[in-house]
Structure 1
Amino acid sequence: MKYELRANQLIGAGGVGAIVDIGDESFVVCDTTQWGTPSQDISHPRMEQRLRRRLCPPPAATRESRGAVPLKRFPGSLFCNRPACRRIILRWDEKKHGSPDGKPKCPFCGHEGSLVPMRFVAACRNGHLSDVPWNRWVSHKKDTCYSQPQLKLEVKNSGTGGLEALSIHCLGCNESRHMGSITAQDSMKRIGARCPGHHPWIWDQNASCNEELEVLQRGATNLYYPVTASALSLEAELQDETDFEAIKATGEFGLLQTMYAAVASQGNFLPPHIEQMIEHVATEHNVSTDEIRELLLGGADGPTDPKTNEVAWNEAEVLAEEWSFLKSDQAAHCRREDFVCKESDLPRFRGKSPFDRVLLIERLREVRAFLGFRRIEPSALEVSPEAGGSFAGTRAWLPAVEIFGEGIFLSFDEDWVADWERRLAQYPEEMVRIGALENVRSAESFWFLPAIDARRIAIHTLAHLLMRQLVFESGYSSSALRERIYSGPGMAGLLIYTADGDSEGSLGGLVRQGQPKRLADTILLALDKATWCSADPVCSETAGQGLGGFNKAACHACCLVPETSCTTANTLLDRTLLLGTGGLPGLLGDLV
């Protein structure tokens, strides 16, 4: 059977290791070593240099392509959807249980009922995924029930309708057990089930895994955390390419290489004086410390972690490069194949403006690459797209997509932001609260979130409010818009752009809304709507809400946008820091 998946889906929530539902069937996406040899590359020098990989689009199921993305039916445990049957097949066999149309049919009721996947799966923090051992879940009275299981899913019509209403019944020994405790953290440990140490598409390569199995629903949000990288294709990426050979030819680097080799051969950690010398050489040649470490390892394409073989991606450095270009004179009137923009007049509010630059970007190109995935929690082990396998006869590559669209770039006046931060510092309770959020981020390893401070939260909240308002003004759908937040020392700005991979991303409506008068009206309307939320006073007075409690005055009714539009999973939002309340100064409080 052949099914269709969108390329954008494969570089995100539907990437390698993800469970995808197609109709009433369920599959898992196999690793990239089984996708076939890529027939083309996506050119993005800076990303390729940092990731040390080729960037290639997913194969398309066309006559010209060299392969398709293989899917594995998962979970393998299926049950009949006929209420009179409900029999369970523990492992689906295409040859044994197949049907003419390729869809699973129940062999116990004469193929009258369709087999549908079980609701729960088992996973561990090492990224492994397997079927729940339903046969062990039932305490059988007969030994033959283990070798010849005859299981049935029973549903009670009485009671609360929770998991207690679902039970697994053994027809051989007449034993049954309900699923009320199936999702408990130690449910698999209690029945002696251990992680088989494999991925569903690699049954014959079991490895030892000491992580405990946890049972989750197939569609649970914590079953799959995709790890992606994103960068804009800007003019600066094609200029001033670093001459790594020149760096390696310097005497300073030669001395560093000798010292590094002596320590690395003993398997020790780098002492502070070598770390300081690496930082010195990186500063002298205007490159990152990761690139110098890569040179010391004998490569010149970009940084990787030699111990874990994981790709090292520093999003903060990429955003800093983009910010530097967007603030440069080159960006004021840039016309290139992948980037066309012009500077616009500033929107003014009663004669003043909190911004120092507005760019109307008529055309931009974004490249997104899939780096891997994690399961159960954000700090779990990251699994690469090749899932420990190797590419046959080709250089390692990452699945990627390129997207063309348009956007509006807003840069805050640094004096305006600095003055607001000085006034905000007079409220120590608020500063302590924000500091506590940063402590939680660090302690609980929320790797996908940037460092938290008041500046980022306020700018991020404005980006969300503008996206919600621009949906009504520009003609784009809410999921078609996306944000990039530039926040840090000397950085305060945002980019709202179209992020769809189809023709909708270049209709021109977004750039039109960036004209001075229209932009000023859009900002005022967005701020005015945010002064009151339909969920207030609950929304504005809640101490912490959303993922990890990172949001304060922000909910679905006032600030949240589609998950695909936000770079931080709809977190780090607070209307009070943007608008001000109860004497607390807001970044744009003077405009309301």
Structure 2
Amino acid sequence: MILKQNQYNQGVGKYKLLSSTSGVGSIITTKLGSYVLISDINKWKFIRWANSKIEIIRTNNSDDKKVYELSKSEVLNRGLEFIDDLRFIKFVKSEKNLENLVCLVGIPHMSLNESFNTPNWRNHPIRTALKNTGEQFEGVSSHYMINGNHFPKWFKNSKGELKKIGEWFSIWERECRRYPETLKLDYFAPPRDANHFLRVINSKNEDRNTIRIREYKTLEQTNLVLICPNGHLSDIPWPNYLRWKTEKHLRLRPDDDKGENLLSSESVGPCCSNPKLKWTESKTKSEGYGSIYLECSSCGLGTNSDKDKPKINLEGINSLEPYCIGQKTWEIDIDNPSIIPYESCYVRNDNKNGREKMKIALVTANNVYYANGFSSLFIPMHLAENKPKEIIEALDILEKKYDKYLARTGMSREEYWNHKFDFDDFLIDNDFNLNEHEDFFRKKLELEFLNISNTDEIHDKHEEYRWQEYRCFSTHSSLPDIEINKGLRFKDINLPSELTDFFKKIQKVEELKVTNVQFDFTRVKPKERIVLNGEVKESSSGQNIFSIDSKELFTLPANEALGEGLFFEFSNGQIEKWISKNRTHLDLRFENYFKELPNPNSQGLSSKMKIYNNKYKHFLIHSFSHMIMRELEFSCGYPTASLKERLYISTNHEKLMSGVLIYTAEGSEGSMGGLVSQGEPEKILDIIRKGLERSQNCSSDPLCWESEGQGVFDLNLAACFSCSLVAETACEEMNLGLDRRVLIDEEFGFLKDI
């Protein structure tokens, strides 16, 4: 048994911390078998430090550019990673309404020492940076780790005594006072039963000195929680449940009572004023929850001591639906854990404003947590917005000046430009170094500024964001190797003649950066983003990963990964010819997906609408992407779990996209050149040919080939695990919207002639 004060340190890959499974509000299972709820980012000390430092910088400086550069300097001086992606910051500010967001800070990498389960701090770059700047550098490693707290709070010992962790800790404190030489408060982790002494053992402390420690039996954590569609999370109040279940058994409550008021002490309340619960399980456990019994030795409920106190088990607990009281348990202050932040909780989009109900779930169930994250491919701002760097900077400053006039006077852009704006003073005040004559710059700035009102309302910001990336690859054959473009490097390959009819270009992306952030999270159901006729709707609002006012949030944690990739841009003209030529076959094959709008109340609406909006092009490009990823496993040894796809598909005539980027990132093999080397003209043709040949055969054929719908929601046709599906982390669309026959079918396959 590990009996060190740091034994609760849990190694979690930094790239998982902002992923779909281990972000803020998630419950992770530790290697000791207990459950820990990850706290909101304002409990992470390095984020709290960065936020307060940037607040001071903003107070002393009004120039946004200077604030950004000073923040960058402060973060780097502390040994933290500063993620320099202005395009992404601008998007996050708009998407999450974080008007004062300044920068993104990388999550530090903190590896654990196997012997003592403590951070390897001695040679850590953050420690070195702190030492160099004269700040405290010893004993502060925990400031750069992620915080969490026990959840659920209920633990039971080997006798079945069920108490909250606070009660068990009080017992432990008393025991520590009895044995101060061999027992410390730190040894409580993982939670232990101070009433169940095992033995005294010899151990060593971090200085390698021999010490004697009293060893106690560990406690077992319960594994049931209450979850809410609005993201809230509550413990089951077991004393209340015992009373409620007893009253149900005695027919003192209506048959249709599903415990709606279980979390209300006024309506249900605990079994008695001093509950002493006991949890017992039959050895066979053959009856599921029916074999788990709950009783209270204080009041006798559940003991079967008389007819008013029958035995109570957990049978039927899954039907519980208590009203949610809006608890935000991931925002608990670790120094004051007895107070649980909460908010009002109502059914979303309910005109009657009814109260939302919670559901029972195992802590390890998939529906306990759904993270909503976003990944950004680094594109320099001047390429993303297709404007000179000086114009972008000038517009940002000019916009802020105009907004002040607009708020006070309601002045139009034309009035402001013609009557209030002094161009000469503007140049002098902001010290612009122009690469062109001032008159030309003035005309460009005027055109852009007056045109902003026409471009402000972008219906689908996500599509616009992808379009910027696609346009960068599509309109450039390569990028000049200059400082402003650092982080992105690519070049066209000479297309083999066999591919020129099908692809506009293929590029080797020799260097790229992908940054991930977490926006929010939901429970019960994932948050879906539905695009209908260009309008965007979201199925739920989600819970924020921060607990302070959004106007006081100046930084967010992020993960940046370096990688390499291959970009394929299809010929739009060839796709249109293919659709026109094979319209009869395609209409018949995809009739179920395109003949009418998907049911707005159906599950998986987001995926169904993407397929409906992008039609045949979605199946074509997505299937091609998976074919290439699977073939790369054979050609260069990258497993699909080390690859990712970035789909560029749109039928919007203003932002027509037909491409895919396949890349490595997030701590995989990274930029070792293995993927880019496959982009040589002779190799890429060979990969595509072999991929098409391999797609002709599937171990599940003929069932797979002739399938009329398989996979989740039947959104795949001729595509299954044996032939087309890839690792879940590699696919953007949950392995949905696939059909290998659109590539290779002898009658209508797009690439059948290759």
TM-score, normalised with respect to structure 2: 0.64
* Separation in 2, partners of 1:288, 1:226: 33
Shift of 1:477: 3.2
Cα displacement string for residues 426-449 of structure 1 (whole angstroms, at most 9, x for unaligned residues) = 243444322268624786575588
Letter aligned with residue 124 of structure 1: C
Q: For structure 2, which runs of at least 5 residues remain unmatched after alignment?
A: 1-5, 51-74, 94-100, 111-120, 122-126, 131-140, 173-184, 199-215, 248-268, 304-309, 333-338, 346-354, 414-445, 528-538
Letter aligned with residue 17 of structure 1: G
**What is the correspondence of 1:40-51 to structure 2 with a 5 Å cutoff?**
41-51=82-92
* Separation in 2, partners of 1:130, 1:260: 50
The answer to whether the Cα contact below 8 Å between 2:604 and 2:713 also exists between their aligned partners in 1 is: no
Distance 1:438 1:21, change over 3 A: farther
* Separation in 1, partners of 2:600, 2:645: 21
Shift of 1:495: 0.6
Shift of 1:396: 2.9
* Separation in 2, partners of 1:143, 1:250: 60
Shift of 1:221: 2.1
Distance 1:255 1:201, change over 3 A: closer
Shift of 1:478: 2.6
Shift of 1:333: 6.8
The answer to whether the Cα contact below 8 Å between 2:698 and 2:722 also exists between their aligned partners in 1 is: yes
Q: For structure 1, which runs of at least 5 residues remain unmatched after alignment?
A: 262-281, 294-302, 304-311
**What is the correspondence of 1:237-252 to structure 2 with a 5 Å cutoff?**
237=384, 240-241=388-389, 242=392, 243-246=395-398
Q: Which residue of 2 aligns with 1:31?
A: 40
Determine whether 1:556 maps to 2:721.
yes
Cα displacement string for residues 251-287 of structure 1 (whole angstroms, at most 9, x for unaligned residues) = 9x979994999xxxxxxxxxxxxxxxxxxxx997698
2:284 to 154, 157, 164: 157
Determine whether 1:425 maps to 2:594.
no
Aligned residues: 539
Determine whether 1:494 maps to 2:503.
no
Shift of 1:145: 5.1
How much identity, in percent, do the aligned residues show? 24
Q: Which residue of 1 aligns with 2:536?
A: none
The answer to whether the Cα contact below 8 Å between 1:578 and 1:588 also exists between their aligned partners in 2 is: yes
Secondary structure of 1:48's match? helix
Secondary structure of 1:451's match? helix
Secondary structure of 1:208's match? coil
2:618 to 431, 435, 456: 456
**What is the correspondence of 1:129-168 to structure 2 with a 5 Å cutoff?**
129-138=233-242, 139-140=245-246, 147-157=274-284, 159=286, 162-168=288-294
Shift of 1:27: 0.7
Shift of 1:86: 4.1
The answer to whether the Cα contact below 8 Å between 1:481 and 1:498 also exists between their aligned partners in 2 is: yes
Letter aligned with residue 119 of structure 1: N
Determine whether 1:407 maps to 2:456.
no
Cα displacement string for residues 526-562 of structure 1 (whole angstroms, at most 9, x for unaligned residues) = 2222223223344344444433433233222222222
Secondary structure of 1:228's match? strand
Q: Which residue of 2 aligns with 1:198?
A: 328
Q: Which residue of 1 aligns with 2:549?
A: 390
Q: Which residue of 2 aligns with 1:103?
A: 190
* Separation in 1, partners of 2:316, 2:454: 47
* Separation in 1, partners of 2:477, 2:450: 20
Determine whether 1:470 maps to 2:632.
yes
Q: Which residue of 1 aligns with 2:487?
A: 338
Q: Which residue of 2 aligns with 1:589?
A: 752
* Separation in 2, partners of 1:69, 1:356: 46
TM-score, normalised with respect to structure 1: 0.80
Q: Which residue of 1 aligns with 2:343?
A: 207
1:125 to 214, 217, 229: 229
Cα displacement string for residues 61-114 of structure 1 (whole angstroms, at most 9, x for unaligned residues) = 66447543211111112334x5xx344334455732556252112356447543
Distance 1:531 1:134, change over 3 A: farther
The answer to whether the Cα contact below 8 Å between 1:348 and 1:520 also exists between their aligned partners in 2 is: no
Greater Rg by CA: 2
Q: Which residue of 2 aligns with 1:533?
A: 698
Secondary structure of 1:356's match? strand
Cα displacement string for residues 453-480 of structure 1 (whole angstroms, at most 9, x for unaligned residues) = 2201221121122212212322323321
* Separation in 2, partners of 1:254, 1:158: 69
The answer to whether the Cα contact below 8 Å between 1:97 and 1:104 also exists between their aligned partners in 2 is: no
Letter aligned with residue 34 of structure 1: K
The answer to whether the Cα contact below 8 Å between 1:47 and 1:231 also exists between their aligned partners in 2 is: yes
Q: Which residue of 2 aligns with 1:68?
A: 145
* Separation in 1, partners of 2:581, 2:276: 70
Shift of 1:570: 2.1
* Separation in 2, partners of 1:246, 1:391: 24
The answer to whether the Cα contact below 8 Å between 2:161 and 2:278 also exists between their aligned partners in 1 is: yes
**What is the correspondence of 1:267-306 to structure 2 with a 5 Å cutoff?**
292=456
Moved more, 420-429 or 114-123: 420-429
Moved more, 454-463 or 237-246: 237-246
The answer to whether the Cα contact below 8 Å between 2:224 and 2:236 also exists between their aligned partners in 1 is: yes
* Separation in 2, partners of 1:536, 1:179: 46
Q: Which residue of 2 aligns with 1:482?
A: 644
Shift of 1:164: 4.2
1:115 to 219, 225, 238: 219
Shift of 1:340: 1.8
Cα displacement string for residues 170-221 of structure 1 (whole angstroms, at most 9, x for unaligned residues) = 554325444453333xx134xxx64353324434323332210111222222
Secondary structure of 2:506's match? strand
The answer to whether the Cα contact below 8 Å between 2:479 and 2:489 also exists between their aligned partners in 1 is: no
Letter aligned with residue 498 of structure 1: T
* Separation in 2, partners of 1:48, 1:448: 27
2:317 to 182, 197, 201: 182
* Separation in 1, partners of 2:227, 2:631: 40
